[in-house]
Amino acid sequence: MKPIDLWLLAWRGLTRRPVRTLLTTLGITVAVASMVIFLSLGEGIRKVFTDQMSGIGPDIQVSLSGLSQGISVQPNVPESLVDDLQKLAPTLNIQSVTPVYMSLRGSLDPSQNTILYGIPAATGIQAIFPNIRAAQGRVLSPGDEQQPVAVVGAKAADNMHLTLGSKLNLNRRESVKVVGVLADDSGLVDNMIFLPLKTIQRAEAAQGRLSMVAVKLNDAHEARSVADTISKRLNVEAQTQGDFLSFLDKTMKISDAVRFGISLISLIVGGLAVANTVMMGVFERTREFGTLRAMGARPAFVQALVLSESLLLSLVGGVGGVVLGLVGIWGVNAYTRNLADIDAAALTPRLVLLALGISLLLGLLSGLLPARHASRMAVTEALGRV
Written as tens digits, the pLDDT of the chain (386 aa) is 556 666 777 777 777 777 877 888 888 888 888 888 888 887 787 777 666 555 456 788 898 876 544 445 568 899 999 999 999 999 999 988 999 998 887 666 666 678 899 999 988 888 888 778 889 999 999 999 889 999 999 888 888 889 999 999 988 888 999 999 998 865 678 888 999 999 999 999 888 999 999 998 888 788 889 999 999 999 998 888 777 667 666 777 777 777 777 777 777 877 777 777 777 766 666 666 666 656 666 767 777 777 888 888 888 888 999 999 999 999 988 887 776 667 788 888 888 998 888 888 888 888 777 777 666 665 555 455 54
Would you tell me how many other CB atoms lie within 10 Å of the CB of residue 288?
17
- The answer to whether the beta carbons of residues 362 and 274 sit under 8 Å apart is yes
| Residue 151: predicted pLDDT | 94
* Sequence ranges of the domains in the chain: 3-51+248-384, 65-235
Work out whether the CA dihedral 276, 280, 283, 285 comes out positive or negative: negative
| Residue 117: predicted pLDDT | 92
For 38, 207, 322, the CA distances from 349, given in Å and listed in that order, are 15, 50, 11
Q: Which of 354, 237, 352, 362 is nearest to 311 (CA)?
A: 362
Q: Which of 99, 85, 167 is nearest to 128 (CA)?
A: 99
Neighbour-count burial of 108, counting CB atoms closer than 10 A to its CB (0-12 exposed, 13-18 middle, 19+ buried): exposed
- The answer to whether the beta carbons of residues 129 and 55 sit under 8 Å apart is no
Q: Which of 319, 348, 345, 343 is nearest to 259 (CA)?
A: 345
Strand partners, 99: 213
- The answer to whether the beta carbons of residues 274 and 366 sit under 8 Å apart is yes
Would you tell me how many other CB atoms lie within 10 Å of the CB of residue 129?
21
Strand partners, 214: 61, 98
Strands 94-105 and 212-217: antiparallel
Cα separation of 178 and 175, whole Å?
A: 10
In the DSSP assignment, the letter for residue 179 is E
Strands 192-196 and 114-119: parallel
